[in-house]
Amino acid sequence: MPSEHEISMLRAARDAGITSREEMANFMAQMGHESTGFTRLEESFRYTRGIHQIPVRSAWREGAQALENARQEALEGRPRELGRLMYGERMGNDNAGDGYLYRGRGYTQLTGENNYRAADEALNLDLIANPALASDRDNAERIAIWFWQNQVPEQDRDDVTRATLAINNGENGLKDRLNRYDAWHAALTPDFVAQLDLGRIRAGAGIAPTQDRPAMEDGALRRFEDGGEVRQLNSHLRALDVRAERNRQVPEGDTFTRETEQAIRLFQEQQAVPTTGRADPATLETIERELRQRQDPPATDERIGIESSNHKQQHGAVVGLSGTGNAELDRLASALASRDETAISEACTRIAQSPHVRALEEWAREPATPQRMEETQQQEMARQLESPGART
């Protein structure tokens, strides 16, 4: 069950209009990642395993040794130099000490004087003079909602990867964000949300990110997942020639790659369905339907009773009936040429009900006599003599 702080954040988000299951899951996943499950309200600068943990590229600007020295100082309780390397001289941090002063705080880990000033003006908080106010939980909720609704484009709020790019200008921690999304999406059932709105959800230990969850456990496939289902998805996308950005083909294999995600996103845009980059049940069903439509052969000729091992030759012969002088046959030929199934059916019905066909059916039911057989032979000989091939 969600923690007390997660329940409070969820209620505030719903009050602010974040109400769809997908957007709520993405919002909570993103804020949960930034704040380590809504437990961290201020950046600690404690990177205990080494400088490779530091996710900020600018921190390396003075070299690995300078960064390592600053990391060691931070572990000893003196983090200002590390703050300078990470955030100084950018994001509005123009003065000495600004990198540390406007460090990450709140559920969004709001960072940099420019962002503090923007939140200050939007929410009427005294954040420039008192940056520590961003660590207050009530303020952290307000800042999180403001940041989400102003920094993440509306069309990207169901898409974990694109929301991550909007928040972080990169894919830092994407796997954890996706795992948190899966956990929240599973938790945010309609019944759970109804109970939340009624105030009946009791606080628990918190929603933990999923770990090593099998692909398709929730009926969907997404980035970093692998297995036979993903291999089939990649194969289907290749068969449909749905491509990734820069016209790259989806790779073969059983891993849901960045290219797979981009191709899924493009397919969703083409189908005018919610664009998430996830192969959810509706998307998978649409892909299967598109494949069936491309693979199923046309059945028009079979439905009207024409049997042939060479469909193209048969179709050409029938279309060649145009101009026979018989109105019903000409109508059928025209319908076949245009592949108008309704017109084909109507033409066949009219031919079947014509006096000539009915007379032929009655003639076929009459018993054969020597006189009748002789008349038939004479008629056939006369027809052959009148045909173009018999003339000299």
74-99 per-position pLDDT tens digit = 999 999 999 999 999 999 999 999 99
Closest by Cα among 339, 343, 241, 255 to 291: 241
Q: Are 59 and 82 in contact (CB under 8 A)?
A: yes
Question: What confidence tens digit (pLDDT) does each residue in 366-385 have?
Answer: 655 666 566 656 665 555 55
Give the single-character DSSP code of 16.
Answer: T
Residues ≥6 apart with Cβ < 8 Å to 292: none
pLDDT at 294: 87
Is it the case that residue 343 has pLDDT exceeding 80? no
Mean pLDDT confidence for 235-246 = 97
Residue 295 pLDDT: 84
The span from the CA of 154 to the CA of 108, in Å, is 18
Residue 104 CA to residue 134 CA, distance in Å, equals: 9
Distance CA 222, CA 133 (A): 38
Work out the average pLDDT over 277-287. 97
Tokens of 250: 């989806």
CA angle 250, 252, 258 (to 5 degrees): 45
**HSE of 83 in the Cβ direction (CA atoms, 13 Å)?**
23
Residue 348 above 80 pLDDT? no
Residue 152 · residue 166 · CB < 8 Å: yes
pLDDT of residue 377: 62
User: What integer pLDDT is reported at residue 314 of this predicted model?
Assistant: 47
Task: Determine the average pLDDT of the residues in 150-167.
Answer: 97
pLDDT score for 373: 60
Domain residue extents for the chain: 228-295, 313-390
Fold held by 228-295:
Muramoyl-pentapeptide Carboxypeptidase; domain 1 (1.10.101)
At CA 342, angle to CA 338 and CA 343, rounded to 5? Answer: 55
**pLDDT above 70: percentage of residues in the chain:** 78
Question: For the segment 28-75, what is each residue's pLDDT rounded down to a tens digit?
Answer: 999 999 999 999 999 999 999 999 999 999 999 999 999 999 999 999
* Whole-structure pTM value: 0.75
Task: Output the six-digit token pair for 50.
Answer: 């080494």
Q: If you average pLDDT over every residue of the chain, what do you get?
A: 87
The candidate with the shortest Cα–Cα distance to 108, out of 205, 171, 27, is 27
- d(Cα 244, Cα 177) in Å, to the nearest integer? 22
Whole-number percent of the chain with pLDDT over 90? 73
Amino acid identity of residue 355, one-letter, is P
| Pair 284, 221: CB distance under 8 Å | yes
| pLDDT over threshold 60, residue 323 | no
pLDDT band, very low/low/confident/very high, at 241 (cuts 50, 70, 90): very high
SS3 of 226, please? strand
Choice among 16-20, 123-127, 346-350 with the minimum mean pLDDT? 346-350
- Residue 143: its H or E element: helix 137-151
Mean pLDDT of 137-141: 98
Q: Reply yes or no on whether the pLDDT at 335 is more than 90.
A: no
Both tokens assigned to 195? 């109970």
Half-sphere exposure of 305 (CA within 13 A, CB side): 5
Cα–Cα distance, 256 to 233 (Å, whole number): 9
